[in-house]
Structure 1
């Protein structure tokens, strides 16, 4: 067991390397984000990648991920497992301080993850806490303590699971640690309403929060006491920009770093001609069209399968991403070691789509080109957010594709947070919503809140793969689960855009990699 666990999790004897002392580099670094953050700068409550960018710069995590998705030390310097693989003990870094000067201890770690299991936790529970010893009694209020999390001493904390749990490190890498001395004063059930605390985060990360000007920017300042060494640049500004103006802002020196929003070769050449550097990586975020599977029009999986067949996903990659992306077919990145062979590829096939729709009872009975059933036309409302140009341009392509198989599609656009609210409200019905999300390495679960979907069969697979750390068992069970998701067609898996960044000519020592875009933020600098 120990050998297997060591091979899976590296047993972490490594420490973070010392970061060079501040070298009076240019200031500030201005990093473009495409939409206004929601202002939920909280490690366990955030929803959007725009909030996540701020959170991952302000807060520290127990572990980070390397380029092969292995956990690396951060707040946790090392770790070990018990003989039965059920208890994971983390040994924490000494001398770490919160941005307000208070000491970081194991109490903060225990508090952060125990809150996710508490009865009043104001968000969907992550799968992680459901596998902790004593979760059921604690989450329902029958017990006042959670035996699955134990503080051993100020720098040691232990997590005990009902069975060996493979995804613990994935959760630690995804959810930073919050400050108990701040959040313990706020009733848990009101966390989402604690605007003052949410918008003034206090972390242990390389940068301190200074201010958030909605629709303008988020300003961070260097944490001189950062445990990894003093960051090189004093100020980081996450500037809210848009894909239409970012190119000129980069060329004019108003921005220093921005994600690539267009892979058009003409745009790339414009950057090169201006002396800007382009960094391209494998994408880590998928673009989706989630279905409300409770919706009577979409409850038959044949209809959902038909819609996937009707959409020319490869054409979207070729036309909008200029080939800089990939199509995928289930709830995992194709680079995942558990991504199975033999998935239905849902090739673009309008005739197959028409056949499946006919089997489900949808036919054009009056010859007007629109399918109907029981006197109702098949009208599909497609909601999509503004802010991501490629996603915006994909909406009319999808509309055209669906029209070709007899589905009338109405397009409705709104800002990102308004569109996200459709999915966040479990009582609200919808047809489809264009949305994107970052893959979380090592996390596979049945929390289908986007799709309003449940399945006993898929839940069974999840219980199996979350109860083992053996690679062979994981590969078999996760693969079977991913095939089941593929067959149920709970969403349209549209495309994975390659990840790219444009760097201003004076940006130095930039480093990032898939899943850790801010891995080296403390080393970034500009010379002005």
Structure 2
């Protein structure tokens, strides 16, 4: 298959253009403009790649959840301070002993087919879907032993141990509630509602034209009086990055979420009278661009090889050349944007090709003439120009220390099966969401009990270490904040030494939108915002 990769090989490392002054803004800065909401209109949002399904209860790729969050809802949403706010749960309280969480559910909410939303839907979703099929739910809800439903509007989660972090996972990303009457008694993962959802959100599913778009329409029975303002929302699948910039600039599309516009094209949208650019919509995700290493492979089971791969890479140059300075070099599996837990006291991998070569020699991969020391495949998804450039940068960097890297670009269905189904890969370039609490966000990538064949975004590296498991599990139940922080610091040091995942860049997800597009309330999980309060001027 033809590829855009080879044409960049000679020029990628030569440097990048400065971004210059861009109209960076607080999330959806309309709240400060004094603009009055207008009714009507159907904005278009560019999306790439096309999602596999549109139920975030089973798959939490960004494209899936960005669509799902307009149709379905979680129990809470997160403001720009990352504090939980009421959604399907009006209020909540933990028991004094920390062994239960009572959710007081919103009354008068209906599913899109007219059936009432009740506590039975929450209990069914948690016990039958989130615990079993949600990529992060296997860890997040592991301590839930039962869900009591004393009445239709109360759900009481019972825990086997204190679980104070759980509320940080209960937005649509981690707790999309499903209608029990639609799913019960069916093959859950093959239920037609995964692709034609029946939710409680401000927009109803209208159609999915494969290869073209997903169209949503206004829910006239939405539980928030007077909302939504919009008549609908259309997600357009535009695989080519250059084309996404063209349709946004022309006005055919009003919003490009989740760095849908490559950073190399952001200068095109520097006129603050026409465009808004912000880097805060993804704050909840605390994402890192990284490479998962298949530690089941004999060569990659040796941590010296994994360390060598990271020493060989000049990540400061990667940040400058590929990401144009947007983001930060990762110094820990917990991003620096999570200051309550971040530590960089572990081993730091500054660019050191000599150290990389010494480690490869020690691991038994000495140079033999012009032949590569080691040959590896690097899998990545189609659709992201930054991923393509990052992969090329990595390939060139590793070639300098004698490691040959073959790039394999594929659609999501192919790489998800290859990585999480068949474990038929060496390296996998992706971004992972680490969330505001490391027990929820980071532990799942390293925890041996989250190695789950066929479950996307679980422990795809296959890394298992009893000592790391012990540290992470102890931190997850430690009630004393200082003791918990100390345990988390210990496992950051441990992971930095073992590096089953090569952390590259802390990502700032950029949203580019027309100034005609407004949203009243800023959100820390704004990529997944319902858009109930959005309007077109």
Normalising by the smaller structure, the TM-score range is 0.7 to 0.9
**Range that drifts further, 221-230 or 487-496:** 221-230
For the residue of structure 2 that corresponds to 1:157, the secondary structure is strand
1:308 Cα deviation (Å)? 0.8
Superposition TM-score, scaled by structure 1 size = 0.85
Counterpart in 1 of 2:119?
106
For the residue of structure 2 that corresponds to 1:287, the secondary structure is strand
Counterpart in 2 of 1:91?
104
- Runs (5+) with no aligned partner, structure 1: 1-19, 134-147, 372-377
Partners of 2:158 and 2:203 in 1: CA distance: 32
Check the 8 A contact 1:116/1:126 in 2, yes or no: no
- In structure 2, relative to structure 1, the CA distance for the partners of 1:107 and 1:520 (3 Å cut) is closer
**Range that drifts further, 163-172 or 518-527:** 518-527
Counterpart in 1 of 2:86?
73
Structure with the bigger RCO (C-alpha within 8 Å, sep 6+) is 2
1:478 Cα deviation (Å)? 2.1
Partners of 1:36 and 1:298 in 2: CA distance: 32
1:314 paired with 2:327, answer no
For the residue of structure 2 that corresponds to 1:435, the secondary structure is strand
Partners of 2:518 and 2:96 in 1: CA distance: 46
1:257 paired with 2:267, answer no
Number of positions where the alignment pairs a residue of Structure 1 with one of Structure 2: 478
Counterpart in 2 of 1:167?
165
For the residue of structure 1 that corresponds to 2:113, the secondary structure is coil
Counterpart in 1 of 2:427?
432
Counterpart in 2 of 1:151?
149
- In structure 2, relative to structure 1, the CA distance for the partners of 1:511 and 1:279 (3 Å cut) is farther
1:396 Cα deviation (Å)? 1.4
Check the 8 A contact 1:79/1:89 in 2, yes or no: yes
For the residue of structure 2 that corresponds to 1:451, the secondary structure is coil
Q: 1:192 aligns with which of 178, 183, 189?
A: 189
Q: 1:462 aligns with which of 453, 467, 472?
A: 472
Q: 1:451 aligns with which of 461, 483, 487?
A: 461
Counterpart in 2 of 1:497?
507
Q: Deviations 1:208-249 (Å, cap 9, x if unpaired)?
A: 111111221111111222223311101111111231111110
- Provide the aligned C-alpha RMSD in A: 2.3
Partners of 1:526 and 1:347 in 2: CA distance: 47
Q: Deviations 1:322-350 (Å, cap 9, x if unpaired)?
A: 11111113332222211123022211111
- In structure 2, relative to structure 1, the CA distance for the partners of 1:123 and 1:515 (3 Å cut) is closer
1:255 Cα deviation (Å)? 0.3
1:382 Cα deviation (Å)? 1.2
For the residue of structure 1 that corresponds to 2:402, the secondary structure is coil
Q: Deviations 1:10-65 (Å, cap 9, x if unpaired)?
A: xxxxxxxxxx9x965341111111111102x2242114211111111111111112
Q: 1:25 aligns with which of 39, 43, 46?
A: 39
Partners of 2:248 and 2:273 in 1: CA distance: 10
Partners of 1:484 and 1:404 in 2: CA distance: 28
Counterpart in 2 of 1:144?
none
Q: Deviations 1:185-224 (Å, cap 9, x if unpaired)?
A: 31xxx32222x22111011111111111122111111122
- In structure 2, relative to structure 1, the CA distance for the partners of 1:116 and 1:251 (3 Å cut) is closer
1:275 Cα deviation (Å)? 4.6
Superposition TM-score, scaled by structure 2 size = 0.84
Counterpart in 2 of 1:206?
202
Partners of 1:215 and 1:72 in 2: CA distance: 36
Counterpart in 1 of 2:364?
361
Check the 8 A contact 1:281/1:514 in 2, yes or no: no
Partners of 1:449 and 1:117 in 2: CA distance: 17
